[in-house]
Amino acid sequence: MRTTLTLTTAAGKDSSIGQRWQAPWPIPDHATVKLEHRVGYRQVKYCWRASKWRYEARWHSPLPKAAIITYPCWCLERIRPGHGYGETAAPRVAQTWVAGRWLPTRQVRYWTKLANQHPTVTTLELVRAAHPAATVKYFPGNFPQGAHDGRTR
């Protein structure tokens, strides 16, 4: 099942936003989709589970008060819940995808705080890497209706 999310713009035309084929990484077809209208921006969440992790890919329009990320972007996070006490206890783990690797979400949020207060080239690059711009990229099995993968059949 393909989910098409459309919003009516001020001009009255429908524009597709935050669709899975615009993400910089594959989003499975079985991911649940939630469209949220927040104060001053819109957000689309895709959630799914795989290998004991809960994944959440979020697309959002530009945030009204954002100083660094001023473009529609994506963010990919994963959480492995902690469990129990004793010998088999495990802590909760939250990670964010940044420039091709998983980093602790706590660290990414700290960089964002630093970049807002005392921006440096390094912190700005890291925050932008954690929030890639929404671009159209196609992955096998992840195409919008009517699109093709360019292979001859």
Within-domain flag for 10: yes
* Spans of the chain below 50 pLDDT: 1-15, 142, 148-153
Element (H, E) at 112: helix 105-117
Q: Please state, in angstroms and rounded to a whole number, the distance separating the CA atoms of residues 152 and 106.
A: 45
Q: How many residues does the chain have?
A: 153
Domain that holds residue 10: 6-90
Within-domain flag for 113: no
Within-domain flag for 85: yes
Within-domain flag for 45: yes
SS3 track for 36-92: EEECCEEEEEEEEEECCEEEEEEEECCCCCCCCCCCCEEEEEEEECCECCHHHCECC
Within-domain flag for 117: no
Within-domain flag for 144: no
Task: Give the model's pLDDT for residue 5.
Answer: 45
Within-domain flag for 140: no
Task: Give the model's pLDDT for residue 62.
Answer: 83
Residue 68 dihedral angles phi and psi, to the nearest 5°? -100, -55
Within-domain flag for 131: no
Domain count, the chain: 1
Task: Give the model's pLDDT for residue 45.
Answer: 92
Task: Give the model's pLDDT for residue 86.
Answer: 85
- Residue pLDDT, tens place only, 21-60: 788 888 898 999 998 888 888 889 999 999 999 999 999 8
